[in-house]
A and B are shown apart, each in its own frame.
Chain A
Amino acid sequence: MNHENTQAQMRKGILEFCILSILNKKEAYPSEVLEQLKNAKMIVVEGTLYPLLTRLKNMELLSYRWEESTSGPPRKYYSITANGQATLSALEQTWNELQNAVETLRT
């Protein structure tokens, strides 16, 4: 574990961005969020999601409700809040700016 790990830092920031994007499209269970991340080839372990979701919820960017399930106990069903959407827009802007800057510098 290294405070200095740039890669981890990058991934962490981007993961939050990704989660907000996913939930912006539609409400989802954590497992569904994971599924979509996998499909987009964003590889994370399941466990990573939970602290992130909780943190985003604590920052009131996400909310959840309990969905009853026929097979087993109820599950958390996450959705994006208005605050979340606002943050998402800001993040999208930052992302675009970063992308442009990096592309320019690389070529």
Chain B
Amino acid sequence: MKKTLSIHLGRQLFTIEEDAYQRLTEYLKRLEQSLSPEEDVKEILEDIEMRCAEIFQMKLTENKMIVVTLKEVEEAIVSLGEPEVISEESGSFQSTNTNASSKEEDVKRRLFRDMDNASLAGICAGMAAYLNIDVVIMRILFTISLFMGFGFPLYIILWIVIPNAKTPSDRLQLRGKPVTVDTIKEEISRTAKNKKSEFMQATEKWRNNPQVSERARHLFGIFAKLIGVGFIAFSCIWLIGFTLTVTGVLQIFPVTGDQNYASFREYLLLVCPNENNSLNFMWWSILITGFTAPLIGLIIGIRIFMNKKSKFFTISLIGLPLVFVCGIIMIIISTIHTLRDYEAYADYENKHLTIQSDELILEELPLKINNRKIVNHGGFNFFNIRNGRLTDHGVHIKYKETTDTVFHIYQVLSARGIDLTAASKRSEHIQHKMTISGNKLLIDPYYNYPLSDGLRDQEIEIIIEVPKGKKLFINGLETKIDGKEYGGVLYSDEAFESYAEEEDD
């Protein structure tokens, strides 16, 4: 499809396509310029225009067309003849012909920015053409000056100060060629031959819009290119990293025990132990989201960088975000599902001991590794997974007064699940060592539970009821009991601290 115009040529009305119109106008202009002004240029031109109109009319009728196209214009020009031929044959040429200076005269050169050969703003190209040296040399010089520090502001200043070579006459002056009808014709056909990609034409039309400043728009174009590159780079990095993490090639999640680092999927297993495909659902939703996001970024980046509109881009820029949103929704769903698995909790009373002494001394169970007693240790930070069991650190100790005359000690195993049954099953699986010898209560600050149960807030609670008047020592310190309930967490590498707990009614 082409844009058309309405012209009044040789007393007839024609609809003509835009490019044909350009050609025709250019031809008539050249004709006018080449005719000697001593003669009736106006009349001659009129005659020729009328003849041209006749030719058009004939061709349109012959071919049953309604619009004059480039083909008709060019055929008419062939028939009528090029301006040079006409003026020569009819002896009607301009006597003040500047073609006399076809020798290399000192035609005054003017410095312009050459946007046709430009890579950024045409400054290097323009200066190279002006000085008649290679563009590459110019660019090298500029890059060097960039590193020397003054290159960048110099470039900006030159960009603002040096005008752009817009017309063919500008371009001729830049190169020091004389500006005549012939050279202009050459210049026009030369620049028309440079096949401009859609991109150049689009940005050129955009640039030529008088409402926005040309430089601002060009600057924006460069900025957009940079953003596009940024998008592409970032998406690629994300894509590579994500792929490696997800496929388990990259194991960066620190653990201790059987391995030093776990893969992403193994980490996920802790939270979503594989029951009823909940893990797979979560896994796929993460995959979908994680791969779609960089793809979107890549396409946005390429689209901005190349500034090309294409069906592929539009479709994918609608489709991919949709997929991405689906992935997010799936993640939300699986997260909710996982959270439900934390709702119910069951505290399972595993042991109940009574002690009749006057004092109860509570101490850490000494840690034995390979039957050797470790006196002091600490620095336990990450998950410890060994032989399919996860070891955790920190036992809750609660103590309060009782009206009874003997010490009561309860070991409570606590875990969470989607319902009581699930929760209590998990709590049964917890293993914890607690021993009595005399009036000494030895409590292991570590406990473990099966990996396949997942992280479900498994905890140990030791509840000690202290008869009135009797004393309780924890790790060598006497505890204060005055009617309130106290609680604290026993770690192996910290001093035991307890706080009064609020009574909840």
Binding site for B on A (CB under 8 A): 1, 5, 8-9, 11-12, 15, 30-31, 44-55, 58, 71-76
Contacts and interface: CB of A to CB of B under 8 A. Distances in A.
Given A45-B80, A73-B12, A51 B57 contact: no
Contact of B86 (A31, A47, A73, A75): A47
B302 interface: no
Given A1-B93, A1-B99, 11 more contacts: A1-B84, A1-B97, A12-B90, A31-B51, A45-B86, A47-B48, A47-B80, A50-B48, A54-B44, A58-B39, A75-B50
A31 B54 CA distance: 10
B40 interface: yes
Interface of B: 10-12, 31, 35, 39-40, 43-44, 47-48, 50-51, 53-54, 57, 79-93, 97, 99
Contacts of A75: 50, 54
A50 B10 CA distance: 14
Nearest to B61: A71
A72 B81 CA distance: 23
B51 A51 contact: no
A44 B47 contact: no
Contacts of A58: 39-40
Contacts of B84: 1
Secondary structure call for the B interface = helix
10 contacts: A9-B91, A15-B90, A45-B81, A48-B86, A50-B47, A50-B48, A50-B51, A51-B87, A51-B90, A54-B47
Most central of A50, A53, A72, A76 by chain B CB within 10 Å? A50
Contacts of A31: 51, 54
A53 B88 contact: no
A5 to B, nearest CB: 7
Contact of A52 (B81, B90, B93): B90
Contacts, number: 87
A50 to B, nearest CB: 4
A73 B80 contact: no
Contacts of B91: 8-9, 12
Contacts of A72: 12, 53-54, 57
A45 B85 contact: yes
- 7 shortest A-B CB distances, which residue pairs? A45-B81, A73-B11, A47-B81, A51-B90, A47-B86, A12-B91, A47-B80
A47 B97 CA distance: 20
B47 A53 contact: yes
A48 B81 contact: yes
A48 B44 contact: no
A54 B51 contact: no
Given A1-B97, A45-B80, A51 B92 contact: yes
B92 A55 contact: yes
Contact of A48 (B10, B39, B89, B99): B89
Contacts of B92: 51, 55
A92 B88 CA distance: 24
